Amino acid sequence: MSDLKPAARPANPRFSSGPCAKNPTYNLNQLADAPLGRSHRASVGKAKLARAIEQTRSILGVPADYRIGIVPASDTGAVEMAMWTMLGCRPVEMLAWESFGEGWVTDAVKQLKLDATVRVADYGQIVDFAEVDFDRDVVFTWNGTTSGVRVPSGDAIPADRDGLTICDATSAAFAMDLPWDKLDVTTFSWQKVLGGEAAHGMLILSPRAVARLESFTPDRPLPKIFRLTKGGKLIEGIFKGETINTPSMLAVEDYLVALDWAESIGGLEGLIARADANAAAVRDFIAGKDWIADLAEDPATASTTSVCLRFTDPAIKDGAAFAKAVAKRLEAEGVALDAGSYRDAPPGLRIWCGSTVESTDVAALMPWIEWAYRAELAAQE
Ligand SMILES: Cc1ncc(COP(=O)(O)O)c(C=O)c1O
């Protein structure tokens, strides 16, 4: 039985949660217009950077009075830039339900030594937003990439809050609706839902976030790559494509190609529909099976990008070794690359279902998961 391999294979076995698969029409020749060897401050480079910002705005529906900046050090750079420049003038609530959120807790508590209330939920669960005091500054991750648990909507965030909300949306942006009126700082990186290149982060600021930057000077040294103000005023150029330091114009071109593809499939609506269909293909497959389950306990909070699965068969002896071996079999068959769960997460599989992935590939992978599970179970005996 375990040797009966499924007949079909995914055309693209790339299910990594970052860097994520390129879009299905991607071709390196599309980068031919990159202004290589030119200054990013020359008009050609500046125009590319400005287009990346404005196309991001139009696809994501970011309000006209929000600033969008391209910053160094990917999503991590964008989140830490916000934390280091904005936090400290009022108490902070740190919300985490998986490893990236926990990383921001460490930043707040151990590095910044802030007056912080920490709310942590186990993998598979989410913190209770009803308990959160949004008159404090609140830092959270929209989609927990390593647990497959996401915020269901912005409804629990009051519109008339006094604090700022700082949201790491790196595995949510472009695949999920983000309520801009509830988010003061939103960050993501190019390498996730659009399958772009790593290295640069996006930092989106509400007018209230800008007001914070202009009214609050934190009592801590800030490296040059974190500095968003000069003489108490926002450095507006950063939000027009005058980056703090040198960006990769190849990565910028790649992002522009990704944005064009996003528009070609219907913009945000098309992107969300693709991720939703991919996640549904996984969940349709696991429904009713007694040996595999969603790590996300509540379907309302189940991610549509980083879908995390755990094996539930009591016959499995060593859960971590088993999950690792299954992922190895999938990789060896060339049907799923990088589909093991994150190193700090409970053992299992993580199938990236973001918008660049084809639902036919997700569907083709599913019987292979059953095959690998049965093969590994037999090997364990
Ligand atoms: C939720 C979340 N935050 C932060 C990061 C770090 O992103 P980067 O490596 O682009 O800085 C990741 C990467 O997977 C992530 O999923």
The answer to whether 322 and 316 are in contact (CB under 8 A) is yes
Domain 28-263 bears CATH identifier 3.40.50.720: no
Q: Which of 98, 166, 170 to mutate to test ligand 1, by most ligand atoms within 8 A of the CB atom?
A: 170
Average pLDDT, the chain: 97
- Cα(192) to ligand 1 centroid in Å equals 8
Q: What are phi and psi of 163, to 5 degrees?
A: -85, 170
Q: Please state the length of the chain.
A: 381
pLDDT-derived band of residue 304, with 50, 70 and 90 as boundaries? Answer: very high
User: Does the pLDDT of residue 21 top 70, yes or no?
Assistant: yes
CATH number of 267-380: 3.90.1150.10
Over residues 280-293, the pLDDT tens digits come to: 999 999 999 999 99
Closest CA relative to residue 323, chosen from 372, 367, 287 = 372
What pTM value is reported for the model? 0.98
What residues contact 95, with CB distance under 8 A and at least 6 apart? Answer: 101, 119, 120, 127, 129, 132, 138, 139, 140, 141
267-380 has the same fold as 28-263: no
237-261: average pLDDT:
98
Q: What are phi and psi of 351, to 5 degrees?
A: -105, 110
What's the token pair of residue 192?
């996730």
User: Does the pLDDT of residue 262 top 80, yes or no?
Assistant: yes
Closest CA relative to residue 351, chosen from 2, 70, 15, 14 = 15
What residues contact 319, with CB distance under 8 A and at least 6 apart? Answer: 310, 311, 346, 347
C-beta atoms surrounding 3 within 10 Å: 8
- Cα(78) to ligand 1 centroid in Å equals 10
CA of 146, closest atom in ligand 1 = 16
* 199 close to ligand 1 (CB < 6 Angstrom): no
Closest CA relative to residue 333, chosen from 360, 305, 373, 295 = 373
- Cα(343) to ligand 1 centroid in Å equals 14
pLDDT-derived band of residue 343, with 50, 70 and 90 as boundaries? Answer: confident
Residue 357 to residue 266: CA distance in whole angstroms: 15
The domain limits of the chain are 28-263, 267-380
∠130-134-136 over CA atoms, to 5°? 135
How confident is the model at residue 362, as a pLDDT? 98
* 243 close to ligand 1 (CB < 6 Angstrom): no
Over residues 154-192, the pLDDT tens digits come to: 999 999 999 999 999 999 999 999 999 999 999 999 999
CA of 145, closest atom in ligand 1 = 16
User: Does the pLDDT of residue 1 top 80, yes or no?
Assistant: no
How confident is the model at residue 173, as a pLDDT? 99
User: Does the pLDDT of residue 329 top 80, yes or no?
Assistant: yes
Q: Whose CA is nearest to atom 16 of ligand 1?
A: 145
CA of 73, closest atom in ligand 1 = 11
* 18 close to ligand 1 (CB < 6 Angstrom): yes
- Cα(170) to ligand 1 centroid in Å equals 6
User: Does the pLDDT of residue 381 top 90, yes or no?
Assistant: no
* 301 close to ligand 1 (CB < 6 Angstrom): no
